[in-house]
Amino acid sequence: MTALEGGCACGEVRYRLTSEPLFTHCCHCLNCQRQTGSAFVINLLIETDRVELLAGEPQPVAVPRSGSKRQRIWRCRTCQVAVFSQYTSARIRFVRGGTLDDPSRVTPDVHIYTRSKLPWVELPEGVPAFATYYDTKKLWPAASHERLDALRARGRRS
C-alpha cells in the first residue's frame, strides 16, 4: 500500500497513515450528519500512533453527542476542518475520509446507523449495513483483531 495522506482545506494540517486502517465506517447517524453538514461521514479507524502528523497541530475540541456521551474532534486551528475524531479509546483515531488527498482510495467496510440514513442515499449491495452498530468480532478481519489485541496489551503494560 502506498501511504494514505491528507489534510485540512488550508493545508496547515497534514498527516500520513503509516498502515492500512483497521476498518472503515460509513456512519449515517444524526450526530455525524450535523457535524459534517452532510448525509454521512467516512471514518477510517486506525491506531493513534499510526497517524503521523506531517505539518501543523490540530486542536482537540470536546463535542457533545446524544445522551451523555462526548467525543473529541481534532480541527485545524485556521480553517476549522475536522481531520479526525476520538470516540472512546484514546488509542484509536477515526480519520475523516474526506480529508484524504485521494478519498477514492478507500471504500466503506460497513454502513452503520442506517436507521437515520437519508432516504435518497442508496447503499451498495455486498457491503454490510446495520440499523445501529455491529459486532466487531464478527466483522473485522483477523489482522485488525490482532492489531487491536496488540494495542490493548501495550496499554496494559503502560
Domain boundaries, the chain: 4-157
Residue 70: its pLDDT value, please?
73
Residue 68: its pLDDT value, please?
58
Residue 157: its pLDDT value, please?
61
Question: Within 13 Å, how many C-alpha atoms sit on residue 84's CB side?
Answer: 28
Q: Which residues, in sequence order, are CB contacts of 133 under 8 Å at separation 6+?
A: 112, 113
Residue 101: its pLDDT value, please?
97
Residue 153: its pLDDT value, please?
86
Residue 65: its pLDDT value, please?
67
For residue 133, which of 84, 100, 88, 90 has the smallest C-alpha distance? 88
CB 117 within 8 A of CB 123: yes
- Which residue in the block uniquely carries the three cell numbers 497534514? 14
Residue 90: its pLDDT value, please?
76
Give pLDDT tens digits along the chain (158 positions).
678 999 999 999 999 999 999 999 999 999 899 989 999 999 999 999 999 999 999 999 988 766 656 789 999 999 999 999 998 777 899 999 999 999 999 999 999 999 999 999 999 999 999 999 999 999 999 999 999 988 888 876 65
CATH architecture assignment, domain 4-157: Alpha-Beta Complex (3.90)
